[in-house]
Amino acid sequence: MQRNIVVDTTGYVKPVCYRDIPSACPIFVRFPMPAAYASARRVKPLTDDRQGATYSISELAREFALTPRAIRFYEIEGLIAPRRRGQARIYGERERTRIKLILRGKRLGFALSEIRELFDIYAATGSERPQLAKFLQMLSDRRALLDQQREDIDAVLAEIAVLERDCRRRLRQRGPGADAADAGAAE
């Protein structure tokens, strides 16, 4: 892909135009202006100090052991909203924190719709208090469900223990030669 860097002696930010991208949408990059324009080819991407650290989709995927597809899915679901620079997604601390919260919610067994509801409460109120109250209610409901599941599992395990004891008792009553006698009678 061919690019043209427009060098302007009065400016610090220069448009970089790619042949495949319409010139109406130049990509802006920041680089130090050398005395002689020899190093103008080494262009570094724009970093905006006001918005803090930024991450690429592959950096976040690597950090959280996710696939880029999973991160894009969270974007489609409206859970994260990265900034765009052309076709590239630029993720900030907000999206990084939200991915952490999404993964924590999933680990606790919440559906993505429930996680989105928590995000929406914070976005609507701008306050943490209603969000925390809703989260406490969701945790209480989840705990009740898990307690019920534990009781169900304990009941099934008790039934398995009874059946195992019964099978062992019946095997002891029949003795070791009973298997050969049963096989001959079945033929």
pLDDT: which is higher, 79 or 179 = 79
Provide φ and ψ at 57, rounded to 5°: -65, -35
**pTM for the whole structure:** 0.60
Is 51-107 in CATH node 3.40.50.360?
no
Query: In whole numbers, what is the pLDDT of the chain averaged over residues?
Result: 76
The CA-atom distances, in angstroms, between 96 and each of 56, 59, 81, 91, 121 are 10, 10, 11, 7, 19
The identity of residue 122, as a single letter, is Y
Locate the domains of the chain by residue range: 1-33, 51-107, 128-176
